[in-house]
């Protein structure tokens, strides 16, 4: 859903037609994304058009940065241990 909205704004119906999710599920997802501040909605006659708020995703990415660094360190340590194990077996 976010990937689609990244390329262009869309209505809930358009998203439901393109995704393997029933329309009520799409509406629930959009409500959660809107409440989280990741998408915004505007009225267009009788339709609601949803669009991505890229600045909100930048905030999420910045928040995740510390966690990403932590996991990268742990994955590097795991890689080192796996390499040591292969050397000792070989």
Residues 14-65: tens digit of each pLDDT: 999 999 999 999 999 999 999 999 999 999 999 999 999 989 989 889 989 9
Name the pTM for this structure: 0.69
The arithmetic mean of pLDDT across residues 51-80, rounded, is 90
- 2-52: CATH topology: Arc Repressor Mutant, subunit A (1.10.10)
Quickly state the pLDDT bin for 90 (edges 50, 70, 90).
low
Rounded to whole angstroms, how far apart are CA atoms 57 and 32? 14
Rounded to whole angstroms, how far apart are CA atoms 48 and 14? 11
Do residues 18 and 4 make contact, with C-beta atoms less than 8 angstroms apart? yes
Dihedral of alpha carbons 25, 8, 34, 63, sign = positive
Q: Which residue from 15, 12, 38 is spatially nearest to 27, judged by alpha carbons? A: 12
């Amino acid at each position: 859903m976010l990937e689609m909205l990244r390329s262009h704004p869309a209505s809930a119906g358009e998203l439901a037609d393109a995704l393997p999710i029933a329309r009520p599920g799409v509406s629930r997802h959009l409500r959660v994304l809107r409440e989280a501040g990741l998408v915004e909605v505007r009225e267009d006659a009788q339709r609601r058009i949803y669009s991505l708020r890229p600045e909100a995703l930048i905030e999420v990415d910045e928040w995740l940065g510390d966690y990403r660094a932590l996991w990268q360190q742990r994955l590097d340590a795991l890689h080192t241990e796996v390499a040591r194990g292969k050397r000792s077996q070989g």
